[in-house]
Homo-oligomer: A and B are copies of this chain.
Amino acid sequence: MTTELVDAIEGLIEDYQDYNSSFVKVYNNFDNLDKLVKNNRPAIFKSVANNWEATKSWNKEYLSHKVTSEIEIAVTPNGNADALVEHHGVLHFLEPDTKSMRMDNFLNDISATPNRVLYLQSQNGNLSYPEYQGLAEDVPQSITEMDDVMENKPDAVNIWIGGPESVTSLHSDPYENIYVVVKGRKTFNLYPPTERYCLNFQKYPHGHYICDNNGEFTVKPSGETISWTPIDPNKSAEENSKHSPTYSKSRCLTVTVDEGDALYLPSGWFHHVSQKGSPCIAVNYWYDQDYSGEKFVMRQFYNRILEMLYNK
């Protein structure tokens, strides 16, 4: 039955690719947002944030002036926070160390120290934290067009500040996401939920980086494991195929989000993010996904079928 199961899964991936475009469409306004959310299709919206106070004002001096409390910064030796890294010859999923520091020091050090990459990526609705209050007023509290489509306000609004070394490894979130680039530009590599099969999710040992006062890193395994994908879209297809024999069935959608533009990143889509600009600053709006209808439950079903196949 395994062969038939593989045929059914590969048929699904091919069908999805046949019935959907191979690129991310670009729009000048949010008029089509409801249809895009309905069909879970990513899209770019141009010049969404051109008139935001954030886009006009946010620079090192302004940010340092507005954020005076210490903030939590992720610290890694190479910019790979929450990513698979080889440790003692074995791939581990490593979380970054976190340090409390002042905004001005963070922004000065962001790309200045070799082998020590800083990234403001605390997420979890960080823009509502007291320390960011002075910045929260420079961006809309929500994307009103998305509020209308989702019939809800965002669950979380996050600010991200990083340099060109910081990348976010391939993963998916259970949120509908409006991702706005305020300064710099970000490149997203995207795979639809149907292509989970191509990404060879496996369990890896989990751990943390520990950065000592001299800036030296050690790795502290937690004893836990985590399911993650070894695929890095910035590596060659040949290299990725070594990590996932089904990688060749995938069709990566690569899109760059320019300053002032927004990406609608549908829930469940796998995404890898890299950035340009120093600092590159983004604000994203996470909306709770809709669990009704067939979308969510069919994805759960598909993921269970994949588990069956992996555990056969």
Contacts and interface: CB of A to CB of B under 8 A. Distances in A.
A9 B305 CA distance: 9
A39 B150 CA distance: 12
A39 B290 contact: yes
Nearest to A16: B297
Contacts of A90: none
Contacts of A290: 38-39
A12 interface: yes
B294 A11 contact: no
Contacts of A9: 301
Contacts of A20: 292-293
A151 B39 CA distance: 14
Interface in A260-312: 290-302, 304-305, 308, 312
A294 B298 contact: yes
Interface size class of A (residues with CB under 8 A): 35 or more
A11 B312 contact: no
Nearest to A305: B8
Contacts of A19: 291-293, 296-297
A155 interface: no
A124 to B, nearest CB: 25
Q: What DSSP secondary structure best describes chain A's contact surface?
A: helix
A40 interface: yes
Interface in A151-208: 151, 192-194
Greatest chain B CB density within 10 A among A5, A11, A19, A308 is at A19
Contact of A294 (B5, B8, B192, B305): B192
Contact of A12 (B34, B193, B291, B301): B301
A290 B304 CA distance: 26
B15 A300 contact: yes
A4 interface: yes
A308 B16 CA distance: 20
B11 A193 contact: no
Contacts of A37: 38
22 contacts: A1-B1, A1-B5, A1-B308, A8-B308, A11-B304, A12-B298, A15-B300, A16-B294, A16-B297, A19-B296, A34-B38, A35-B151, A37-B38, A38-B290, A39-B293, A39-B294, A41-B292, A41-B293, A193-B294, A194-B294, A298-B298, A298-B299
9 shortest A-B CB distances, which residue pairs?
Answer: A39-B293, A12-B301, A15-B297, A38-B38, A298-B298, A8-B304, A16-B297, A19-B291, A4-B308
Interface of A: 1-2, 4-5, 7-9, 11-12, 15-16, 19-20, 34-35, 37-41, 151, 192-194, 290-302, 304-305, 308, 312
Given A9-B301, A19-B291, A20-B292, 10 more contacts: A1-B308, A1-B312, A11-B304, A38-B290, A39-B295, A41-B292, A194-B294, A194-B297, A298-B298, A305-B305
